[in-house]
């Protein structure tokens, strides 16, 4: 256990119950590193989680306050929380791809529309891995999964020129970035910017699942092969190659450019109250 | 010839679905039901069924897709658990209110919060009054048999209502047991061709599903729904009679075990009934007249028949694997109580809440309850009417 996990995480939750070779811990570490580098303390943050691998493995790990939402609802819960929490307190959500881009997408879009001050880390293991490895909304085309043994052929949010970050950009999100678990400090810098932005920030972070994704798509649970699968198909934005699925870096940054959700509501209600008083 | 196999509850349900070969299935993964649609997807991919299969983005959408496909005139099935069922809540009423014979397997699991993936009956009990037929199953064999019968029941021209087939999460869904599969041709012949009733896109006979109906006619629709529910029991019995002919297995509205001459009895649903039957045997060996009743058709609840079956007992314990918070007793207890209420001489009733969130229910638990019932029967006095068992207080 390193220094940061002692400082910020509950010792009894480390190590997590994740499968051997799971890359979620790398993403989790990047978030905690970003929190540390911003000088934030345990009491500055409320941590929310969802369901599935990402939700389960990060649930209750934060030493401070946390809450678990049902599948896809954590964004709606967090908006309610944002309205009542002092503005200087941060809300960080660690969720999965099925949660954010599937069952919870409507709530996520409305969180972006209203520019709620949330930092959402979408830990993407390329499908529904905790239920055995069904394909999801970011599963690369042609991937063999438990529910697509002959290759995933459905349109999804990362195929045919689609990009889920584009959806969120047009929905009003003010900070969007994409990384893979191996990005290290580059990912930490993006998360820091996300946390600093007073508005909706989302960092999409692809991570390796050797147990279910790897065993079906690559025919092996070899961790190195699964890591290589992700690393070799990612590249920094501007340096994309033909096989690049995940262009990493900051996708969209208009930090602090629009009034934040709760601030906007509080300000306007105050204005209406003043007008009514006159 | 029937095939003897060793399979999990989920595998058995998926096999029943393969043999039925529905027109449309919608799915969204949720533990512990995922495995059913997962296996079924394999059948779709391998061309074993002609089903149109759609993976949607939430359970709400799964049931919505089922509603659409069923209204269009297809034979439709899906499966879910717990939060998935909770998220379908709105559409459950649309399915029953528009009389769509959708079949759904419910792999019973506890509801959040706190999050728990293990077996209890909170999900099914939460949906008990949504107008669906509910068949509950003790083991993989019953789940399989109920699945096949449910299509006949739901699609019966006098019924046309959606039906849920319930089995215990993990305890049954993920345990391997010996059971028998029927032949494909036998199942196909048993369920018969799907008959459409007022399908959409029949432009010679245009219909509307679910339009606005206010104070003028809404109540009549609800009255009609209640009328249909009153006919389900007889259809369930008729279908069971036909099913016995093809399988040799006898089903009723409920199962009784050593109940005819019993003085004390347990009423309990699903897998824990199997455990309890062993405890009943232990008490019979001691010379105590114990028995058991296991409801199968839980909605519509055959309260008259169950009242008749229990009225001669001196003391009965209803065991609930879910609580009805703020109500007087657990949900099954309240139904049983209403069933025996009309009788002047009726058994004393007690209620135990057990096994929430997958907490083990052991033979010793059943034996403690039976010992308490023997005491109640002897003295005519009840110390505690409702109690949680197997809980750290």
Mind listing the pLDDT tens digit for each residue in B317-346? 999 999 999 999 999 999 999 999 999 999
Residues 6+ apart with CB under 8 A from A165: A176, A178, A202, A204, A251, A252
Alpha-carbon span B128 to A268, nearest angstrom: 45
Phi and psi angles of residue A253, each rounded to the nearest 5 degrees, phi first: -140, 105
Q: How confident is the model at residue B361 (pLDDT cuts 50, 70, 90)?
A: very high
Q: Which residue has the tokens 């391997």?
A: B176
Q: How confident is the model at residue A11 (pLDDT cuts 50, 70, 90)?
A: confident
Across the interface, do A103 and B57 touch by the CB < 8 Å criterion?
A: yes
Mind listing the pLDDT tens digit for each residue in B2-16? 899 999 999 999 999
Looking at domain B3-247, its CATH superfamily turns out to be Thiamin diphosphate (ThDP)-binding fold, Pyr/PP domains (3.40.50.970)
pLDDT of residue A278: 67
Q: How confident is the model at residue A276 (pLDDT cuts 50, 70, 90)?
A: confident
Mind listing the pLDDT tens digit for each residue in A94-104? 999 999 999 99
Distance from CA of B387 to the nearest CA of A (A): 29
Stretch 63-102 of chain B: residues touching chain A, C-beta under 8 Å? 83, 86-87
Is the pLDDT at B55 greater than 80? The verdict is yes
Domain map (residue ranges) of chain B: 3-247, 255-388
Alpha-carbon span B72 to B115, nearest angstrom: 37
Q: How confident is the model at residue A168 (pLDDT cuts 50, 70, 90)?
A: very high
Residue B29 is nearest to which of A131, A137, A154, comparing CB atoms?
A: A131
| Residue A166 CB neighbours (<10 A) | 14
Residue B113 is nearest to which of A68, A105, A154, comparing CB atoms?
A: A68
Is the pLDDT at B224 greater than 70? The verdict is yes
Going A176 to A178 to A184 to A185, the CA torsion angle's sign is: negative
Across the interface, do A70 and B31 touch by the CB < 8 Å criterion?
A: no
DSSP reduced 3-state for B175: coil
Q: In this prediction, what percent of chain B has a pLDDT beyond 90?
A: 97
- Whether B255-388 and B3-247 are alike in CATH topology: the answer is yes
Residue A147 is nearest to which of B31, B38, B87, comparing CB atoms?
A: B38
Is the pLDDT at B1 greater than 80? The verdict is no
Least confident of A13-22, A167-176, B55-64, B152-161: A13-22
pLDDT of residue A34: 98
Average pLDDT on B37-44 reads 93
Residue B41 is nearest to which of A103, A147, A154, comparing CB atoms?
A: A147
Mind listing the pLDDT tens digit for each residue in A127-160? 999 999 999 999 999 999 998 989 999 999 999 8
Across the interface, do B83 and A154 touch by the CB < 8 Å criterion?
A: no
Distance from CA of B36 to the nearest CA of A (A): 11
CB A67 within 8 A of CB A82: no
Question: In chain B, what residues touch A149 (CB-CB under 8 Å)?
Answer: 42, 45
Distances (CA, A) of B68 to A95, B98, B187, B314, B389: 31, 11, 26, 50, 44
DSSP reduced 3-state for A104: coil
Say which CATH class B255-388 falls into: alpha beta
Least confident of B113-117, B163-167, B252-256: B113-117
Question: In chain B, what residues touch A70 (CB-CB under 8 Å)?
Answer: 83, 86, 112-113
Question: Which of the 8 DSSP states describes residue B30?
Answer: -
Across the interface, do B115 and A135 touch by the CB < 8 Å criterion?
A: no
Domain map (residue ranges) of chain A: 22-277
Question: In chain B, what residues touch A105 (CB-CB under 8 Å)?
Answer: 57
Q: Please, which residues bridge with residue A203 across strands? A: A121, A177
Q: Report yes or no: B28 at the A interface, CB cutoff 8 Å.
A: yes
The whole-chain average pLDDT of chain A stands at: 95
Going A47 to A52 to A58 to A61, the CA torsion angle's sign is: positive
CB B160 within 8 A of CB B132: no
Is the pLDDT at A1 greater than 70? The verdict is no
Q: Which residue has the tokens 């001050």?
A: A117
Phi and psi angles of residue A204, each rounded to the nearest 5 degrees, phi first: -90, 115
| Residue A158 CB neighbours (<10 A) | 24
Across the interface, do B83 and A71 touch by the CB < 8 Å criterion?
A: yes
Average pLDDT on B226-245 reads 98
Looking at domain A22-277, its CATH superfamily turns out to be Thiamin diphosphate (ThDP)-binding fold, Pyr/PP domains (3.40.50.970)
Alpha-carbon span A129 to A139, nearest angstrom: 11
pTM of the complete model: 0.92
Question: In chain B, what residues touch A135 (CB-CB under 8 Å)?
Answer: 55
Residues of A within an 8 Å Cβ radius of B: 51, 59, 68, 70-72, 98, 102-103, 105, 128, 130-132, 134-135, 137, 146-150, 154
Question: In chain A, what residues touch B58 (CB-CB under 8 Å)?
Answer: 71-72, 102-103
**ipTM of the prediction:** 0.86
Q: Tell me which of B10, B25, B28, B29 to substitute to probe the interface with A (most A C-beta atoms closer than 10 Å).
A: B29
Residue B57 is nearest to which of A102, A130, A149, comparing CB atoms?
A: A102
Nearest to B91 by CA among B136, B127, B57, B138: B127
How many CB contacts within 8 angstroms connect chain A with chain B? 52
Average pLDDT on B267-282 reads 98
Average pLDDT on A10-28 reads 91
Q: What is the 3-state secondary structure (H, E, C) of B183-207?
A: CHHHHHHHHCCCCCCCCCCCCCCCC
Average pLDDT on B203-211 reads 90
Q: Please, which residues bridge with residue B352 across strands? A: B319, B387
Interhelix angle B9-20/B34-45, nearest 10 degrees: 40
Mind listing the pLDDT tens digit for each residue in A218-265? 999 999 999 999 999 999 999 999 999 999 999 999 999 999 999 999
Is the pLDDT at A77 greater than 90? The verdict is yes
Mind listing the pLDDT tens digit for each residue in B149-186? 999 999 999 999 999 999 999 999 999 999 999 999 99
Q: Tell me which of A60, A75, A131 to substitute to probe the interface with B (most B C-beta atoms closer than 10 Å).
A: A131
């Amino acid at each position: 256990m390193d220094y940061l996990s002692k400082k910020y995480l509950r010792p009894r939750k480390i190590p997590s119950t994740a499968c051997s070779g799971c890359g979620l811990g790398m993403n989790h570490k990047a978030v905690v590193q970003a929190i540390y580098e911003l000088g934030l303390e345990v009491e500055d943050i409320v941590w929310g989680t969802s369901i599935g691998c990402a939700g389960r493995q990060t649930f209750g790990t934060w030493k401070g306050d946390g809450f678990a939402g049902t599948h896809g609802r954590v964004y709606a819960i967090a908006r309610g929380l944002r309205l009542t929490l002092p503005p200087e307190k941060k809300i960080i959500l660690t969720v999965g791809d099925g949660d954010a881009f599937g069952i919870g997408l409507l709530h996520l879009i409305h969180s972006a529309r209203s520019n709620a001050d949330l930092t959402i880390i979408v830990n993407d293991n390329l499908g529904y891995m905790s239920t055995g490895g069904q394909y999801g909304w970011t599963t690369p085309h042609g991937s063999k999964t438990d529910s697509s043994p002959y290759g995933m052929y459905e349109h999804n949010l990362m195929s045919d020129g689609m990009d889920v970050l584009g959806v969120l950009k047009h929905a009003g999100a003010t900070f969007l970035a994409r990384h893979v678990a191996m990005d290290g400090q580059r990912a930490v810098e993006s998360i820091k910017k996300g946390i600093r932005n007073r508005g909706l920030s989302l960092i999409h972070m692809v991570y390796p699942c050797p147990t279910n994704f790897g065993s079906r798509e690559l025919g092996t649970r070899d961790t190195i092969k699964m890591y290589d699968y992700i690393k070799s198909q990612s590249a920094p934005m501007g340096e994309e190659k033909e096989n690049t699925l995940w262009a990493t870096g900051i996708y969209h940054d208009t930090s602090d450019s629009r009034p934040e959700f709760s601030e906007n509501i509080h300000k306007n209600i105050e204005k209406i109250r003043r007008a009514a008083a006159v | 010839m029937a095939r003897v196999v060793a399979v999990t509850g989920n595998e058995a349900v998926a096999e029943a679905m393969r043999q039925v070969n529905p027109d449309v299935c919608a799915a969204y993964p949720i533990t512990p039901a995922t495995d059913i649609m997962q296996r079924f997807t394999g059948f779709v991919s391998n061309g074993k069924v002609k089903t149109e299969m759609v993976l949607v983005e939430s359970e709400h959408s799964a049931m919505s897709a089922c509603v659409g496909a069923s209204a269009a005139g297809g034979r439709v099935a899906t499966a879910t658990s717990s939060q998935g069922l909770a998220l379908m809540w709105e559409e459950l009423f649309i399915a029953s209110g528009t009389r769509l014979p959708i079949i759904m397997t419910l792999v019973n699991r506890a509801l959040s919060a706190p999050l728990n993936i293990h077996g209890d009956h909170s999900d099914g009990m939460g949906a008990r009054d949504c107008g669906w037929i509910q068949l509950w199953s003790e083991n993989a064999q019953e789940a399989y048999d109920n699945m096949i019968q449910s299509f006949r029941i739901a699609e019966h021209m006098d019924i046309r209502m959606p039906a849920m087939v319930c089995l215990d999460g993990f305890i049954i869904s993920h345990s391997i047991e010996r059971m028998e599969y029927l032949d494909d041709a036998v199942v196909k012949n048993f369920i018969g061709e799907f008959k459409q009733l007022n399908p959409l896109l029949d432009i010679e006979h245009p219909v509307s599903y679910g339009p606005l109906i206010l104070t003028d006619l809404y109540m009549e629709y609800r009255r009609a729904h209640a009328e249909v529910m009153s006919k389900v029991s007889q259809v369930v019995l008729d279908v069971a009679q036909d099913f016995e002919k093809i399988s040799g297995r006898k089903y009723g509205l409920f199962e009784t075990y050593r109940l005819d001459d019993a003085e004390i009895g347990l009423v309990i649903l699903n897998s824990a009934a199997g455990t309890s039957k062993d405890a009943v045997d232990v008490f019979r060996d001691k010379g105590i007249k114990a028995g058991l009743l296991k409801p199968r058709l839980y909605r519509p609840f055959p309260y008259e028949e169950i009242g008749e079956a229990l009225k001669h007992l001196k003391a009965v314990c209803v065991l609930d694997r879910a609580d009805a918070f703020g109500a007087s007793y657990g949900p099954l207890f309240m139904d049983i109580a209403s069933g025996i209420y009309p009788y002047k001489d009726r058994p004393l009733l007690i209620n135990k809440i057990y096994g929430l969130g997958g907490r083990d229910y052991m033979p010793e638990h059943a034996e403690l309850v039976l010992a308490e019932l023997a005491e109640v029967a002897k003295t005519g006095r009840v110390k505690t009417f409702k109690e949680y068992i197997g809980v750290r207080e």
